Structure 1
């Protein structure tokens, strides 16, 4: 989820995804938005935002850039509470 402007850094900021079905009613409105990708219903697990060495991230399988508003909103909620 990290901006390409920071591609010189050795790490990447990431937010894991989880299968929607594994969380029952535990999804948090706004904080863990639902995302559809590759015919799967997923949750953006914003509270688990982390940094990963770039060398461990290989073979991207797609982009979630079309979910930008939901991702930025979830991060905003996590950081500011708004």
Structure 2
């Protein structure tokens, strides 16, 4: 579901995937996602607006907007959080990546 966070079944560098695909497009076997990286493991500065921090179970994770990708639906594990309430910040990050503002 859109703006739900799922465990990543394959990549330990990105333990979570944020689903950003519209729920109206649910017949595909893929989902458009943004990976999250543990804030403590990110070694370089990132633009805050492009890469906002989301708290997952009390720990900070960076939304790696510039690494969004389409992945097989089967890659999405257990749903762990609903970030619908942070939709505006997430969409602003996507808009910055695509439109530059």
TM-score relative to the length of structure 2? 0.74
Q: CA RMSD in A?
A: 1.3
Aligned length: 82
Deviation at 1:24, TM superposition (A): 4.6
More strand by share: 2
1:5 counterpart = 2:15: no
**Which stretches of structure 1, 4 residues or longer, exceed 6 Å deviation after superposition?**
none
Which of 31, 34, 39 in structure 2 is aligned with 1:15?
34
Alignment partner for residue 57 of structure 2, among 26, 30, 38? 38
* TM-score normalised by structure 1 residue count: 0.90
Q: Secondary structure at the match of 1:2?
A: coil
Q: Structure 2: give runs of 5+ residues left out of the alignment.
A: 1-19
**C-alpha separation between the residues in 1 aligned to 2:44 and 2:72?**
33
Stretches of structure 1 that go unaligned for 5 or more consecutive residues are none
